[in-house]
Every structure is written in C-alpha cells, then in structure tokens.
Amino acid sequence: MQHLRALPDPDLIVKAVRAATGRAEGDISLHEPFITGNEWAYVKECLDTGWVSSVGKYVDVFEKRLEEITGVKRAFAVVNGTSALHIALKMAGVRPGDEVLLPDLTFVATANAVTYCGATPHFVDSEPRTLGVDAPKLDKYLSGIAVRQREATVNRRSGRPIRALIAMHTFGHPVDLDAVLEICRKHGIELIEDAAEALGSLYKDRSVGHHGKFAVLSFNGNKIVSTGGGGAILTDDEELAREAKHIATTAKLPHAWEFNHDRIGYNYRMPNLNAAMGVAQLERLGEFVARKRSLADAYARLLADVPGVKFFREPENTRSNYWLNALLLDRSDAPGRDELLAHLNRSGIKARPAWTLMHNLAMFADCPRSDVSAAEDLQSRLINLPSSAFLGPNT
C-alpha cells in the first residue's frame, strides 16, 4: 500500500527561519528598512537649510550615485516606482488603445501603470527558473496571435497594437534578459525592465537596467534601499532622459520667474528630503546586498533537509540581491499553503504568499492573457520569508 507523505512540518520551518535570521524569539517582519548610517544627518541638513522639496543638492547626488552604481547614462528620481513606470511607458510610445505585455505574476502597480496610459494589460506566463517572463513560451504565443505591421505589432484577436513588454525581476531575481530582448526585437515590441525590486542585482556581471529602453526602480519602505517613498527611471538614451525628466517635472519651461508649460506634465519629482535618506542608504548598498545574500545562504542550508519545501536560488548567470527570500512547497502540498502561512504568522514569522495573479483581480479579469499555468502553479505554492538586511544567523 502506498503511503502519502506528510505535509511539511511547520515547526521545522519555524525553527529554520529563526535560526537563519538569528531571531530566537519575537516577531520577525517580512522586510524593514535598515537605518543606521548617515540618514539622520542628511535629513537633518535638509530640515536645517529648508531644502525639503524637489529642488536640492541631495536629489542631484542621489541620481548621480544611481548612475554610478548601475552604469546607466541617466537616472532621475521620482516619487515612487509606479510613477516611474508610468513615465517610462509613455516615453516608450504607449498610447491609449494599445496593449502592454506583462507577467501575470507581478505586483499590481505594474498593471496599474499600464492603465494610466489608457492601455490594456496583456498578461503572460512566468518560468520556474527565474520567476519572471517565460521567453520561449512568449515567443510561441506571439507567433500565434500577433502580426507585425508597418507601424506596430497588432494582436490579431483584439485588433490593438502590442506596444511594449514589461519584464519584472521578481523578488530581485533577474529574468533571462538576452532572451526577452531578442523576442522583443523579433516582434517589434519595446522592452521596459521593472527593476523595482532588483537594485544591486546583476545579469551576466552587469547591473540590470540596460536591456530595455527604460528601467524603473522603487525605494519604498520595504525595498533594499529606501527613501521612505520614491522611485527612479534609468535609461541609456540621453535625449529620451531629458524629455522624460521634463514631463515628470510638470513640463515647465526653464525661466527665472515665469510659469510656462509646453505640454501636459506630471508632478512626479522626488523631494530633496527623501533623496537625502536615499543617499545615505546607497552608501551601504554593497553591505545590504552582502547581508541579504548571506541570509539567503543560511535559509538554503537550514531548509535543505525540511521535507516538502525547496528554497528558491538565483537563476544561472545572475547575482541576485535576494530582495525577498522565497520557498516553494512541493506541488502535492500546495493545498496546505495557507495553513502553513497561518502557522508561521501565529509563531511571529510574518511570511506572505506571492501576489494575487493579475487576472484574478476584478478590474483585470477581462484583460487578454496567454496560458498562465506556470504562474498559477508558482503562486499556489510560493511563500516569502523575512528578508530584512539586518537579519542573519550572526546578528
């Protein structure tokens, strides 16, 4: 007689998490900022001098440091990652009535930004190897539903132009950027990297953010580097960068006192106060990445012998910042995911599931989508574990 294996032992997972994080007792949040550097001094300088809004030296310093860290030609800071993605989409040519491809497994802001442009999100599948866009599957899908015309690639089913693909680096793990870019070029679609979670991550020894026409970052309170609230747009196209920065700054024409604007713009620029905190955080980015990678190693080691779970490791040819650590339940144990989450949270470990798939949200239920069976499988058995940079077995 065949015996069914027991569900993963929740107490073994609790024990492993507490050992990996170095927290034998008490609550462990999913992700918190690590503020022990120059944040107080730089923010206090803004308050003392009165330079607290979107004009001030720390905005310029913050942008320059992002350019140095990522290697892109231009970076400019905005109020959050969603506004960064909104501007990037507009600058990539997304118009009302277009479609934009994006993973079904993503945070809702990715899809929301598409709708801000009057466009329709078009959801595609993810691959287990990277948790990001499945490039071969997307290529096959587009070959069946898209026709490349003179001015645009058109979805033959809806009649709408497919203008862009947003490739999101899930939990900081880079997607297969070479393969994704090749497909975009083949089908005449612009690529935008949603690197909101991936500052400090490398693809083939180079920072993410160079394959798409634009890339976007987020500095929300739960990101590896935080400005409280903030984002940035990265690009290697200096002319597009100037135009994007212009429309993100209310499209105001330079003048000593007059208020002239040459188009509809957006009030999206990051305040100096936030940038000051960001400059201090960037000073420690290398340390943060090293700490988070050490935490991931501890999780992998301590969970290796726990039956029924697998710790997610960075894809080949990448160096991930491990923004959020993730474990995957065996498929046979997926129905017990919520029970395990409940046990972890009762035990003070603030674990979370992956995001609700976009097509399961009411406002996106009627949007076009490919087969997303892999995303459905991943979402059903994925659990994020505490991942703050100050956690670790020796802290």
pLDDT, one tens digit per residue, over 349-378 is 999 999 999 999 999 999 999 999 999 999
For residue 228, list its beta bridge partners. Answer: 220
Domain end point (choices 252, 282, 312) = 282
Say what angle helices 10-21 and 285-303 make with each other, to 10 degrees: 150
- Give mean pLDDT, residues 19-31: 97
CATH code for the domain of 107: 3.40.640.10
Condensed to tens digits (0 to 9), the pLDDT of residues 136-160 reads 999 999 999 999 998 899 999 999 9
Q: Are residues 200 and 332 in the same domain?
A: no
- On whether both 266 and 251 belong to a single domain, the answer is yes
Which pLDDT band holds residue 54 (cuts at 50, 70, 90)? confident
Same domain? For 59 and 179 the reply is yes
| Boundary of a domain, candidates 282, 303, 326 | 282
Instruction: Give yes or no: residues 126 and 249 share one domain.
Output: yes
Domain boundary pick from 258, 282, 306 = 282
pLDDT at 3 over 70: no
Same domain, 206 and 310: no
What residue numbers bound the domain in which 294 lies?
Answer: 10-34+285-385
Assess whether 157 and 210 both reside in one domain.
yes
pLDDT band, very low/low/confident/very high, at 4 (cuts 50, 70, 90)? very low
Query: In terms of domains, do 181 and 242 share one?
Result: yes
**Residue 394 falls within a domain, yes or no?**
no
Predicted pLDDT at 203: 98
Determine the Cα–Cα distance for residues 264 and 122; give it in Å rounded to an integer: 27
Task: Give the mean model confidence (pLDDT) for residues 96-101.
Answer: 98
Residues 246 and 374 in one domain: no
Q: What does the alpha-carbon distance between residue 66 and residue 225 come to, in Å, rounded to a whole number?
A: 11
Whether residues 216 and 314 share a domain: the answer is: no
Q: How much is the average pLDDT of 102-125? A: 98
CB contact at 8 A, 119 and 367: no
In a domain, residue 345? The reply is: yes
Number of domains in the chain: 2
Residue 27, CA distances (Å) to 59, 306, 325, 347 in order = 35, 22, 17, 8
Distance separating alpha carbons of residues 265 and 250, to the nearest angstrom:
4
